[in-house]
Amino acid sequence: MAHRCPPWLCFTFDNRFRRRFHDPVKLFSPYIREGAAVLDIGPGKGFFSIPLARMVGASGRVFAADVEPAMLRAIEKRAEKAGVGGRVTSLLVRPGALEYPAADFVLLFWVLHEMAGQEDVLREIRAKLRPGGHVFIAEPRLHVGERAFEESVKRCEAAGFADEARPSVALSRAVVLR
């Protein structure tokens, strides 16, 4: 990884005020169904993981995959407190040794730019995405310029994804892939 967001910095973007402009239900409900398997890559402290666990219902599962054990511990605590602990599974992954579970929906929110070897990550995700599944990628405008974002989209297409939508996401550049 070129850069990792340290756990202590998460409070700046993982707080209740953020829900005003990054409402998980509004952003992801077109792509999530009850019983779905969701892979949240680089979930921070679970800002999206917990609402996603509610969206997939009792028969669904959210896999929160991160390289930082502290982030995963925080997600586990928050999931238990929110009553969705049985729906959230923490996955400690190592850069270059990705082992993601099969998923119906994959979320990479403000994290793809932090990953070295994006091509390998995208191929792994493509191999694990179930038929009809979607990948939602959002990158922060402050860190990822338009040219860099479009280069990432081209890498996605080279990995076998089709650009399906360009949702409007506050403070972000975003694409939904199929």
Tell me the two tokens of residue 171.
């403070």
- Model pLDDT, residue 52: 98
pLDDT tens digits along 131-174? 999 999 999 999 999 999 999 999 999 999 999 999 999 999 99
Phi and psi at 167, nearest 5°, equal -65, 150
Tell me the two tokens of residue 134.
């979607």
pLDDT tens digits along 57-73? 999 999 999 999 999 99
Please, is 89 exposed, middle or buried when counting C-beta atoms within 10 Å of its C-beta (0-12, 13-18, 19+)?
Answer: buried
- Please enumerate in sequence order all residues whose Cβ is within 8 A of that of 39, keeping only pairs 6 or more positions apart, or say none: 62, 63, 65, 100, 101, 103, 105, 106, 107, 125, 128
pLDDT at 87 over 80: yes
